[in-house]
């Protein structure tokens, strides 16, 4: 099964590029940029990865990204992940990135875009890896700040495959960002949003009805609302589920307790993703393997999950057709 899952053409729809920052690269960039970290060693950082909830993770996440200062840093960050993902059989990656978290440190959007754009071109040329870009708004910051960011991103609108909504969910409902997402819709930019991870099912409904999203990132709490489950099934709404992330952030205590089997039994349009692989126990292959070990899924189930992601991805139809063929040929 491991050999099959390595060969399976995997498409990642839910990846925060800042969350792919491995401790080794964190320390290298800290030294290069003269950034003092609160940790004395790589081992000490890894020991801190015992999170009690989403907020405890975010505290470390934002500290870690403080080492990212230059376009070269963002290029190295993305290429480091692209190479690891490629080695695991990932063929397409959709990167969430958080400009507001960098702006507060004085790092302009142009710096982030330069580094990520160079890495995306290099990954396609050298690795055959296609990518998409999702500019995420931090939901625990003011909506006015998100609107300002969206307008300042005007030179890059054509490069954005979607805008998203992430960070601390509790107390920050989707409705807070209605005007921002309406503006993105008028610009012709697709919308996605984190909902139903720590937040209630109503946040999923709000993201659908008020933000007009085409995908729900996480969405695992939908099972608390049967009517919502029926709607998600009828609309074939994509759920970008992140199993190892949900364990690390105590959404569930053990992977064996995860609602993934129930989500599939309900006929929902589920995909598997890594979220923040440096912090949550591994990348795409680790998540697929963990699900096989926890749930005993067969090859047909994993083909279905991989196919769901191919169909939901932000990519050209020629690329989609190519990946469908690769999936069909994978045995």
**Integer Cα distance of 206 and 52 in angstroms:** 26
Average pLDDT over residues 169-182: 97
For residue 54, pLDDT over 90 is answered with no
For residue 2, pLDDT over 90 is answered with yes
Burial of 235 (0-12, 13-18, 19+ CB in 10 A): exposed
Q: Is residue 35 part of a domain?
A: yes
* Per-residue pLDDT tens over the stretch 293-322: 999 999 999 999 999 999 999 999 999 999
pLDDT of residue 102: 96
Q: Is residue 56 part of a domain?
A: yes
For residue 40, pLDDT over 90 is answered with no
For residue 112, pLDDT over 90 is answered with yes
Q: Is residue 166 part of a domain?
A: yes
Tell me how many domains the chain contains: 1
Domain interval for residue 183 = 2-323
**Integer Cα distance of 106 and 241 in angstroms:** 33
- The pLDDT-based confidence of 56 (bands split at 50, 70, 90) is confident
Catalytic residue positions? 197
Q: Is residue 319 part of a domain?
A: yes
Q: What is the CATH number of the domain that holds 31?
A: 3.20.20.140
pLDDT of residue 289: 98
Average pLDDT over residues 206-233: 98
Q: How far is CA 140 from the centre of its chain?
A: 18
Q: Look over the chain and give the mean of its residue pLDDT values, rounded to a whole number.
A: 96
For residue 292, pLDDT over 90 is answered with yes
Q: Is residue 330 part of a domain?
A: no
**Integer Cα distance of 70 and 67 in angstroms:** 9
Q: Is residue 328 part of a domain?
A: no
Q: In terms of Cα–Cα distance, which of 224, 179, 175, 178 is closest to 198?
A: 224
* Per-residue pLDDT tens over the stretch 234-249: 999 999 999 999 999 9
Q: Is residue 136 part of a domain?
A: yes
């Amino acid at each position: 099964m491991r050999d099959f899952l390595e060969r399976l053409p995997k498409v990642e729809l839910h990846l925060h590029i800042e969350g792919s920052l491995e401790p080794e690269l964190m320390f290298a960039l800290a030294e290069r940029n003269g950034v003092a970290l609160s940790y004395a060693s790589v081992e000490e950082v890894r020991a801190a990865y015992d999170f009690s909830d989403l907020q405890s993770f975010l505290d470390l996440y934002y500290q870690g990204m403080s080492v990212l200062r230059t376009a070269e840093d963002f290029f190295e960050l993305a290429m480091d992940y692209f190479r690891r993902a490629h080695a695991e059989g990932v063929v397409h990656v959709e990167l969430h990135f958080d400009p507001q978290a960098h702006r507060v440190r004085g790092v302009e959007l142009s710096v982030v875009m330069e580094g990520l754009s160079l890495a995306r071109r290099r990954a396609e040329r050298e690795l055959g890896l296609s990518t998409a870009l999702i500019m995420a708004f931090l939901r625990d910051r003011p909506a006015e700040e998100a609107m300002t960011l969206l307008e300042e991103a005007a030179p890059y609108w054509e490069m954005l495959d979607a805008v998203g909504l992430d960070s601390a969910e509790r107390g920050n409902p989707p409705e807070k960002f209605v005007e921002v997402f309406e503006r993105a819709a008028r610009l012709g930019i697709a919308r996605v949003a984190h909902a139903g991870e720590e937040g209630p099912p109503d946040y999923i409904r709000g993201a659908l009805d008020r933000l007009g999203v085409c995908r729900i990132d996480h969405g695992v709490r939908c099972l608390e609302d049967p009517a919502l489950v029926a709607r998600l099934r009828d609309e074939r709404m994509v759920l970008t589920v992140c199993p190892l992330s949900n364990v690390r952030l105590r959404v569930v205590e053990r992977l064996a307790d995860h609602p993934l089997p129930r989500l599939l039994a309900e006929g929902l349009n589920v995909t598997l993703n890594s979220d923040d692989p440096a912090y949550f126990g591994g990348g795409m292959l680790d998540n697929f393997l963990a699900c096989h070990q926890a749930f005993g899924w067969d090859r047909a189930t994993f083909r279905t999950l991989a196919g769901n992601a191919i169909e939901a991805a932000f990519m050209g139809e020629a690329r989609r057709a190519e990946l469908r063929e690769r999936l069909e040929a994978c045995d």
